Structure 1
Amino acid sequence: MSHETTTPTRFSAVRQYPIDLAAVSIVAVIAYVVVTSYAEGSVLRLLATFPLALFLPGYALVSVLFPAAERTSRQPRTAGGDPAAPHRPSGYVRGIDWLERLGLSFAISLAIVPLVGIALPFTQWGLTTEPIAASLVIITVVLAQLGVVRRLRTPKPERFIGSPLESLSQLRRDESAVATASSIVLVLAVGLAVGALLVAFLAPLSTGGFTELALYGEDDDGDLVAGEIDDEIEAGDSVTATVSIDNQEGEETDYSVVIQEQVLEDDSVEERTDLEELETTLDDGTTGTDELTVTPTADEGETVRMSVLLYSDEVPDEPTNENADEDTYFWVTLE
């Protein structure tokens, strides 16, 4: 008489593959594609960056460290009333439930990302978007596969099952009020952390763009350097500087620049003289520079402030540092 025997098949191995770790690996790869495909400031790029940097690597590492599930059932008691020590197979590792796993995933991810940022500058790739994203994906996928091996080697009754619904049902069956309360607190803490991180990632979108204004002078080699503008000239002579406008407003913008000579007494402007006005239009993400040559009208021996006032709307009747969108200045003493 012959007996049928069952042998493991590739299909059965696939069926046992943890669905949560498969999802972690797939989502990490998709996030990498999105992060490296969309321009900086894109909503999709920000949404993909969030799980890739703040959740997936930590979840994968937690799966390696804790392949077993939290046991909530009562232990059997001996005849004397003491809990019997349960039989634990060799290699058994106490597990954690879904709520603890989520909390640790965020915390560990926040520790992994800075390590990547410290290591990459010492490599040939440098600290740019693509190497950072690629490093996080590699770390996540490798750790997830190690987590798969660890989990499949854990006895099935003790093995963590990637099902939040099953964990919630266990939570309802748990008779410990303290355990239930602590789990609820953990859920709230994780929710607040996720909400705060989402706000931090998305807040720049709601604040709109920005414009940077800067002044430069030339050094002995003819290079533009901040702080190299002449601060002492002969009365009647001109002073030269280079004004730089960086448009990061998210759209093409018209700019007006007013160069104003100001006489100050006790930190208060007593006299203003508009010397020159420039207009330019810059595409988003571009920087425009222009050389200014202005001649102060103050008398010999006076020190005046030369203010550069930038406006993206119409120039007011009386331009001031206070009503300018951006302003910068340098001091000149007339000898």
Structure 2
Amino acid sequence: MKSEDPRSLIAEAAGYRPGDLIAIAVITAATLLAVYVPVLNASPLRILLGVAMVLFIPGYALIAALFPAKGDLDGIERVALSFGLSIAVVPLIGLGLNYTPWGIRLDPILASLTLFTLAMTGIAWYRRLTLPADERFMVPAREIFNAARLELFDPGASWLDRGLSSLLVVAIVAALATTAYVIAVPKEGEHFTEFYILGPGGKAADYPTDPRVNSAQSLIVGVGNHEYREVAYTVEAVLLNQTFDPVTNTSTIHAVTPIDRFTVTVPHNETRELPWEFSVPSTEYNRLEFLLFTETVPAQNVTGQDRINASYRDLHLWLRPRPV
């Protein structure tokens, strides 16, 4: 085992540059740029790097940290485990974020994946540094390239073999280009809008269903646009006094009081979560209704159940107001 004297490690670290770990760090940084830089985040590069960041990069960094020696695993095993561990690690990070104040959103997920990947890359770099140089894992990129070139373009091969080799290269390049195109330009899917409400803590829990009359209550209203275009949504909040007759299986609205109306513009494939406060003026109201409209909002004389039916999406909370 190589000596782990700090001074010798620091001296050697200055000249030790593992290409695969540097590539992982560069791809991670490029993913951040592709997500947040205005020009890049609208290009196919965001999708390509995002897929790699979810399906391969974290797992490869973890494998590199766990197995720093070249004799630990062969190349095929490292690649296979990199995919498998990425598919395992990313959901676990998302599960952990679900129990934090940040929740499962783009910024905390990307920050967590970045920190995890860079941490594992740093550990892998340190663990390789503590090994003798001939035992450290490295990607033999030059040897792989030379072997592939010799296999495909052997100078001693016949013209037929060379032609078939060239055809194989063209087929591989075409397959890779087709795959990249399919990932970067996915087929337009179903058009829909997410409309949801969360409790004040940003989770689907702790809704203020038992408010005191005239006391301020808070919710979070979320709108997710998957309409393949930018949409200016209108959200209306209405208090209802509504009863249900189980005999006729019908609901009757006895009172309607609009309490808020606002607009929010959401680009395609983005989500807006807006803090929202309300109060219930009387114990007679037992339902809080949220109505979502797109560009077409019905006239004000359309009220009650007709207005609910005219909305693009609607949500509600049953309330049990308490007197002060």
Q: Could you say which TM-score interval applies, normalised by the shorter chain?
A: 0.3 to 0.5
What TM-score, normalized to structure 2? 0.48
Structure of greater Rg: 1
Normalising to structure 1: TM-score of the pair?
0.46
